Structure 1
Amino acid sequence: MKSDDFVVIEVADTGIGIAPEHLSSVFNRFWRAEKARSCRQGGSGLGLAIVQAITHAHGGEISVTSKLGAGSCFRVKLPVFEGSFKDS
């Protein structure tokens, strides 16, 4: 999705979702949900914190919406600078 002032990238899944009480924590460094901690293969809890830092460094915003049992949608909004896109 693109407008004159920003580009929006949405990444959605149909996974287990994120509990409402955990939504405010997903961008914290090293935070992992209890279910993720018990998985044999898991991350370090840095991925979303890094994405947030990069997004903010570029003057953007990141947000998440989620429903338990239905999945999550992460939305990154970045400003468009002159010359970012070549005219077709």
Structure 2
Amino acid sequence: MSHRRPLPRGLRLTVTDEGPGFPPEFLPRAVDRFARAEASRTSEGAGLGLAFVQAVALAHGGTAHAENTEHGGAVTLDLPC
């Protein structure tokens, strides 16, 4: 699920899921390149998805971060106008 909300000088886009969320110890490095929540995961992935989101945000003067909500994990992208 995604939500868009205008900010006083920009836009906030939040994408959430209904899964278990992120492990708390992973959150500080969630947008780092090659970061994966669990090193022992058998699913494919290089740990670059959230790093790409962060790179796009920074390229446009914005920010991105991951967090846990009452419904699951969420990634928020804030972009200025």
**What is the TM-score normalised by the length of structure 1?**
0.75
RMSD: 1.9
Mapped partners of 1:31, 1:64: distance in 2: 12
Of 15, 18, 21 in structure 2, the residue corresponding to residue 17 of structure 1 is 21
Gaps of 5+ in 1: 81-88
> Alignment length, in residue pairs?
77
Q: Which protein is richer in helix relative to its size?
A: 1
Amino acid at match of 2:22: I
Dislocated runs of 4+, deviation >6 Å: none
Q: Which protein is richer in strand relative to its size?
A: 2
Amino acid at match of 1:49: A
For residues 61-76 of structure 1, the aligned pairs below 5 Å read 61-66=63-68, 70-76=71-77
Mapped partners of 2:7, 2:72: distance in 1: 26
Amino acid at match of 2:75: F
Mapped partners of 1:54, 1:72: distance in 2: 20
* Rg larger in structure: 1
Amino acid at match of 1:38: R
Identity of aligned residues (%): 36
Which structure has the higher relative contact order (CA within 8 Å, separation 6+)? Answer: 1
Amino acid at match of 1:20: P
Of 58, 61, 68 in structure 2, the residue corresponding to residue 59 of structure 1 is 61
Deviation at 1:9, TM superposition (A): 0.4
